[in-house]
Every structure is written in structure tokens, then in C-alpha cells.
Amino acid sequence: MMISAAKDCTCPPQEQGSIYLPSLAEIVRTKELTKMEKLFEIRFRNGQELGHQPGQFVEVSLFGIGEAPISISSSPTKKGSFELAVRAVGNVTKALHSFSPGAALGIRGPFGKGFPIEELEGKDILFVAGGIGLVPLRSLINYVLDNRSSFGRVIVLFGAKTPAEQLFLDELAVWRKSKEMEYWETVDRSDGQWKGNVGVITTLFSKITIDPKKTAAVIVGPPIMYRFAILESQGKGISNDQIIVSLERRMKCGVGKCGHCQINHIYVCQEGPVFSYAKIKDIKEAI
């Protein structure tokens, strides 16, 4: 695989050359999050910034192995490097899990439309994260916490299958005590030690009160969760244009050329992965 000659500038990689050519990067740090998921802190070898918006993704290239789209999990307020949290499921992700700090990889992107930050400013935000859905939401949650005065209430609902599958334990420990946000969590199945709520994520909706006129819900999780989390958000009075989701589709190119991510006339890699529910509600295959 060819590697782009990274130019001597700090502008986002996609503005520097071909959208098809990865820029050379390296792993700074890895951290095991669960048995299946690992965090990778990555920086470009020429010191450039990724320049992303929360909700965007990159294509990770492992030379001689392949590429996979992965959400950017760190906030753009973190400078000098960025973070990806990766579940080992197939060729690229399993190989990446075997990489150590210093190892080289290629990055294309950032790609896609992220969360509508300017529209969210001033509003209360209800975050609904299911399992690995916390990976892209963490970028936005940390962005909001780093710009706390620009937003209203921050309510986070997080559901995992079991306590062992909770991601970002250090951050969850901080969020539980934080006065900057209202954090609620649940697991589908307890492990005997768990003292918190047991039940699917929708059981948390009954515990919160919101003002629907000034609240936006931002929902990311497994496909099964969307329908029910959207219904609960509507039940709280939140309008469809204030319900924001991120859709995961099988992607290849990430740049609107191959059609792998297409749902009807929509290229998810270009127009998404973030959409308002109002935009996709009539597209049967979307949710």
C-alpha cells in the first residue's frame, strides 16, 4: 500500500492531498478497556493535528492487512494525538490489537458529518449510549465538558450488557461523582458484585425529568437499541429533529465512491454517520 508523503503543514490530513492516501501515524499508547476492546492513542509522524469534529470517523490502514472505519473517541479539545477504541472482531481490528506503542499505521480522514455542535449549543443534552456506542459519544461528551458553559444540562444514560463490558472505567468513576453532569448507568445482567441498576437502557428513562422544549437527545448504540431509545425520547416530548443518531453501516472507501454504505439514495459515509431522526425516519432500512 502506498503511503502519502505527508506535507509539512498542520492542517487536517484530508485537506493535504488525496482522500485515498493514508497519512503515516504511530501508536503512542494502548490500554485494555475490556477483554474485547482496546484504546489506541495515535499521533501523526509529522506532528499534524487530525482536526476532527466529534462523531466523525477515520479509516485505519494496517499495511499489508487492510482498512477499517473507526470512530474518533477523543475530543478535538485534546491536542497532539487522538484516540480510537477498537473491538477485536476481524482481520484489521484483531491485527491492530497485537500492535504495541511505536508501531506504524496509516490514517485516512477524518470523514463524515459529525454531531451538530453549533445546533446543540445552549441546549440540554440527553446522551444515550449503548455498549460500544459510548466510543463516539465520548468524543462529544468530553467536548461538551471542556466547553461546559456553552451547554445546558448534560444527562448521560449508559447501558452495558454486563459490568465487565463497561468501557472507560476511569472516566465513568469521575462522571459518577461529577457535578457537571447527571450520569445514570445500567447493566443488562449483574455479576453479583454490581450494586447499580439492572435492566436495559430504556429503564433509565423513567428516572429522569427533562424539559423537552430545550433538550436534544443524542443516541448511539447497537441497532436494536435505537427503536426503543427513540420511542422513549419521543415519549419525553423530544421532537424528531432534536433526536440525533449515528448509524453504523458496512463501509469501505469512506468517501462516497464505493456504495458499500448506501441506504437508498443516502451515502452514510458522506451525509452521516450522524443524522437527525427526522431525516431518516421514513427510510425503512436506516434503523
Ligand X SMILES: Cc1cc2nc3c(=O)[nH]c(=O)nc-3n(C[C@H](O)[C@H](O)[C@H](O)COP(=O)(O)OP(=O)(O)OC[C@H]3O[C@@H](n4cnc5c(N)ncnc54)[C@H](O)[C@@H]3O)c2cc1C
Residues that bind ligand FES (CB under 6 A): 251-254, 256-261, 267, 269
* Cβ-proximal residues to 70 (8 Å cutoff; 6+ apart), any chain: 57, 58, 59, 60, 84, 86
> Site residues for ligand X, window 1-60 (CB under 6 A)?
57
Residue 123 binds which entry of ligand X, ligand FES, none, CB below 5-8 Å type-dependent? none
Q: Which residue is nearest to ligand X (CB)?
A: 90
For ligand FES, the closer CB: 128 or 247: 247
Does 68 interact with ligand X (rule: CB under 6 A)? Answer: yes
Extract the C-alpha cell encoding 107: 490514517
Select 97 or 279, whichever has its Cβ closest to ligand FES. 279
Q: Which stretch binds ligand X (CB under 6 A): 172-180, 209-217, 248-256, 276-284?
A: 248-256
Query: Residue with C-alpha cell 493535528?
Result: 49
69 sits near ligand X (criterion: CB under 6 A): yes
User: What is the spatial distance between Cα 45 and Cα 71, in angstroms, rounded to a whole number?
Assistant: 20
Nearest-approach distance from CB 226 to ligand X, in angstroms: 15
Is residue 70 part of the contact set for ligand X (CB under 6 A)?
yes
Q: How many CB atoms lie within 10 A of CB 146?
A: 12
Residue 69: CB minimum distance to ligand FES, A: 8
98 binds ligand X (CB under 6 A): no
CB atoms within 10 A of CB 21: 17
- What's the CA gap between 157 and 246, in Å, rounded? 16
Q: Is 89 in the site for ligand X (CB under 6 A)?
A: yes
**Shortest separation between residue 128's beta carbon and ligand FES, angstroms:** 25
User: Considering the complex, what minimum distance in angstroms separates the CB of residue 239 from ligand X?
Assistant: 26
Long-range contacts of 166-169 (CB under 8 A, 24+ apart): 166/34, 167/33, 167/34, 167/37, 167/85, 167/131, 167/132, 167/134, 167/135, 168/33, 168/39, 168/85, 168/134, 168/138, 169/33
Q: Is the dihedral of CA 135, 140, 145, 147 positive or negative?
A: positive
| Cβ 233 to ligand X shortest distance, Å | 22
Q: Residues 103 to 142: which contact ligand X by CB under 6 A? A: 135
Cell numbers for 243 = 433526536
Rounded distance between C-alpha atoms, residue 70 and residue 74, angstroms: 12
CB closer to ligand X, 10 vs 91: 91
State the residues that interact with ligand X by CB under 6 A: 57, 66, 68-71, 85-87, 89-93, 135, 248-251, 273
